[in-house]
Chains A and B, each alone.
Chain A
């Protein structure tokens, strides 16, 4: 199984709503990532989890709250978002750097397309 599964595929929410994006992988990867991608732009790194602990937060506003409940799951909790937060949110996973099994690449899910009204 080399898949990263993201749900939901599409989400529409108002600025006062609370919602969550979910990501799951069963490849034994201990590094998991959230990226944000605006139209016609490259993905931008938001968060990195390493062994279920937050290791990188790229100065993301607190209205985005990540959570890694176990080694297979990654969530992104959304609250009081703004219309400019509308984007494709991509989850990815990989082996840790430095491991012999690490072939380097990140495996991406299909993304959750978020629209904030």
Chain B
């Protein structure tokens, strides 16, 4: 079946540090890949997405590239801010027939200290 593995936190960084959150996946076919962010007490917001191999998703300074050869979709940001503190979920959506919905990783709690 489909699965997503991401590094679990908490990950604690200082403001302006470089961020990498690793995400790898197992899926048949060609899934779409996503990063969602959840701020305390809120729902999930789409941060970025990629729908095919070598696509790069980007938003708010965050980037991730769909790497089919390594089945990875690592999230990066060059300089994090305190406001980036949240839980980040890597997810995939299988494009074939049958099962629908998102398969989520376990989430990475990111804490940015001033």
> Could you list which residues of chain A lie within 8 angstroms of chain B, going by C-beta atoms?
6, 31, 33, 35, 40-43, 45, 48, 50, 55-56, 90, 92, 97, 103-111
Contact = CB atoms under 8 A, between A and B. Distances in A.
Contact of A90 (B44, B51, B95): B44
Size range of the chain B interface in the assembly: 20 to 34
Given A50-B100, A56-B100, A105 B106 contact: no
B10 to A, nearest CB: 10
B61 interface: no
Interface of B: 32, 34, 36, 42-46, 49, 51, 89, 93, 95-97, 99-102, 104-107, 109
What 6 A-B pairs come out closest when comparing CB atoms? A104-B32, A42-B104, A110-B43, A108-B44, A45-B101, A108-B43
**Among A42, A50, A107, residue most surrounded by chain B Cβ atoms (within 10 Å):** A42
A41 B107 contact: yes
A48 B44 contact: no
Given A55-B100, A104-B34, A43 B51 contact: no
Contacts of B89: 42-43
Nearest to B50: A104
